[in-house]
Structure 1
Amino acid sequence: MLIGNLDGMTVFARVVEEASFSGAARKLGMSKSAVSKHVTKLEDSLGIRLLNRTTRRLSLTDAGSTFYQHCARVVEEIETAEHALTDLRGTPRGTLRISAPLTFGQMYLPQLVTEFMAMYPGLHVDIHLADHMVDLVAEGFDMAIRITRLKDSSMIARKLADFTGHVVAAPAYLEQHGEPKTPQELADHKTLAYTNVASPNIWDFEGPDGPVTVRVNPVMSCNNGEFTSIAAIRGLGIAREPEFIVAEALSEGRLVRILKDYDPLNNGGIYAVYPERRHLPSKVRVFIDFLAEKFRGGLCNFHEAACKEYKEGRGRQRLAP
């Protein structure tokens, strides 16, 4: 009964505070008759008169005086809750739980999160780095960064940047084993497979004559792209790698890009993904907007500084006692 009377309690409290139906109507943006109906309905549901009405003035009954004290507290709590929610919508607070791929997260998120948290010091960021896809809802994440060809329609996604993959090998490997000229020749080469995909042993390409699918026979498999890139640099085999992982090794000649006429269909996008919600929390919205701005124009615009910071950080880790 009380839940159904919340509107009536709010109207009644305003009538008492304004000492008139017309004053309450102005404050509430309602008609005078609507205010009167709310109070009458409240009295009927309670089975007791709350107000004495005369042509000149209103006065509280004893029961009305007692009831008003409770109504005033309820209305105050409701207004406090509404103000708190308004504040949360406008200023991100609380904890933002993010899932991101391991190497991408290590390379880019320290710089991004540091800058973001300087803008919103009331926010706590909880980051989970893993190369497998987490269940955002079941595991309580607000959002994830995913590098993929997005297919999960149960999630809402915003594309942050394009993702490019390359087929790479070390010069020493190519010198010893020769360079494959077509994807079909990969079946006779040592390959390194990244396992956090649906079919690690199936490599798809788009070539001059259309799509090509090759089944490779990996000599090593791993669930981390940086690990397979290091193995490729050491000459263990041929790998398919994201550009952001191998860009430095390619520029320094430690890896060579091969099969340049064939687009490896591990390309896709870098997405901010979040569960479908009617009202997106401000902490998620502002972080996604922040990421989109940082990656505007492509990942390369942000890549150099982030990679330098990541490399320096790894160097300090190696030098630490």
Structure 2
Amino acid sequence: MEDFKRMAIFASVVEQGSMSGAARLLDMTPSAISQHIRQLEREAGITLLHRSTRQLSLTDAGQRFYTQCATMCEVANRARAELAAERQEPSGELRMSAPAGFTQHAAPALGAWLARHPALRLRLLMDDAPIDLIQARVDLALRFGALADSSWVARLLGRSATVLCAAPQWIAAQNQPVRHPADLTQAHWLDMSRSDKPALELHWQHDASGEQAHFQVLPQMVSNHRSAVQQFCEAGLGVALLSAHDVTASLRAGRLVRLLPDWDMGQLDIWAVTPQRDVQSAKVRQAMEVLRQYFAQLDGMQQTL
């Protein structure tokens, strides 16, 4: 690396026409510049510059060497320009991973942004199983819920309220209205879980009175896919705790009805996770902000800074 530095200094001396000019440009002393040039000549065993009190001139070997040094500096400048452009304008391929439940949100969240940046390509990897970001060469991962400890960098995009839902036909089939969590202890429950834990533990708190309710139920249906649980719920097969950002459209369309809206049933954190801590590229920075803004405008979301 020291040789590269000396080559860049040599190119600057030639272009500035003097060691003092190169020193001013590089914020070095003329004596330091001279030492670097002499070291280059000692290591090569060749004179590169003819020196006089008035001017410097290149030897034949120095002229050929300068041509290669100038090319090296030009390539380095282009490389720096590429990095600067990457920080300012999203381009290239963005490799992003997300749970399968993000499928319904992918186009609404990212479509307009992609359309504004034709130099940007998206490779979206949908998988509920956590993947190794480094091994999969993922730039940005969308994660929901509690995060496992890791060296990765996580940014909180928002919090989605957990809401209790049932289909209109399920509600119509009940002998009595649902007014309290205790009314649901014998209901058919649908649950999203990635573990083999049989029971679903429920902990709720009433918004106004502070009353708490705690009980366990044995779900009739469990899936590791949120979308599957929601589909079973919309089919009238039971009640489910779902995330507000997933059920907004179904609630508006009347496919689902929210039960016990005065009870706090918790929230689901939504994270953007990246594998590196250094300066993020424009495509990663902008993707995180686009996702944050998208989730913030959905019903039941708590906006974050």
TM-score category by the smaller chain?
Answer: 0.7 to 0.9
Task: Please name the residue that 2:14 is paired with.
Answer: 16
Task: Please name the residue that 1:81 is paired with.
Answer: 79
**Identical-residue share of aligned pairs (%):** 35
- 2:167 is aligned with what amino acid? A
- 2:15 is aligned with what amino acid? E
What's the C-alpha RMSD, in Å, of the aligned pairs?
Answer: 2.9
CA distance in structure 2 between the partners assigned to 1:88 and 1:286 by the alignment: 11
Residue 250, structure 1, aligned to residue 251, structure 2: yes
What pairs with 1:157-172 in structure 2 (closer than 5 Å)? Answer: 157-172=154-169
Alignment gaps of 5+ in structure 2: none
Deviations 1:8-58 (A, max 9, x none): 111111112222112222333333222212212222333333222221222
Deviations 1:178-201 (A, max 9, x none): 566655665533211212468574
CA distance in structure 2 between the partners assigned to 1:255 and 1:85 by the alignment: 48
Residue 5, structure 1, aligned to residue 3, structure 2: yes
Deviations 1:250-305 (A, max 9, x none): 3455433334454223x122222212321212210122123334444x42399xxx
Residue 299, structure 1, aligned to residue 294, structure 2: no
CA distance in structure 1 between the partners assigned to 2:82 and 2:252 by the alignment: 51
Task: Please name the residue that 2:31 is paired with.
Answer: 33
Tell me if the contact between 2:152 and 2:277 (Cα under 8 Å) persists in the aligned partners: no
CA distance in structure 2 between the partners assigned to 1:272 and 1:9 by the alignment: 43
Tell me if the contact between 1:186 and 1:214 (Cα under 8 Å) persists in the aligned partners: no
CA distance in structure 2 between the partners assigned to 1:192 and 1:53 by the alignment: 86
Measured after TM superposition, the shift of residue 153 of structure 1 is 4.7
Deviations 1:55-84 (A, max 9, x none): 122222333233223222222222222222
Tell me if the contact between 1:161 and 1:270 (Cα under 8 Å) persists in the aligned partners: yes
Question: What is the number of residues matched between the two proteins?
Answer: 297
SS in structure 2 at match of 1:161: strand
Measured after TM superposition, the shift of residue 213 of structure 1 is 5.0
Task: Please name the residue that 1:226 is paired with.
Answer: 227
Task: Please name the residue that 2:282 is paired with.
Answer: 282
Question: Which among 93, 116, 120 is matched to residue 117 of structure 2?
Answer: 120
TM, length-normalised to structure 1:
0.80
Structure ranking higher in helix proportion:
1
SS in structure 2 at match of 1:138: coil
Task: Please name the residue that 1:307 is paired with.
Answer: none
Measured after TM superposition, the shift of residue 99 of structure 1 is 1.6
CA distance in structure 2 between the partners assigned to 1:156 and 1:58 by the alignment: 52
Q: 1:235 to 1:84 in 2, by over 3 A?
A: closer
Residue range with higher mean Cα deviation, 190-199 or 10-19: 190-199
Q: 1:151 to 1:204 in 2, by over 3 A?
A: farther
- 2:166 is aligned with what amino acid? A
CA distance in structure 1 between the partners assigned to 2:300 and 2:170 by the alignment: 31
CA distance in structure 1 between the partners assigned to 2:59 and 2:243 by the alignment: 76
Question: Which among 90, 94, 97 is matched to residue 96 of structure 1?
Answer: 94
Q: 1:89 to 1:256 in 2, by over 3 A?
A: closer
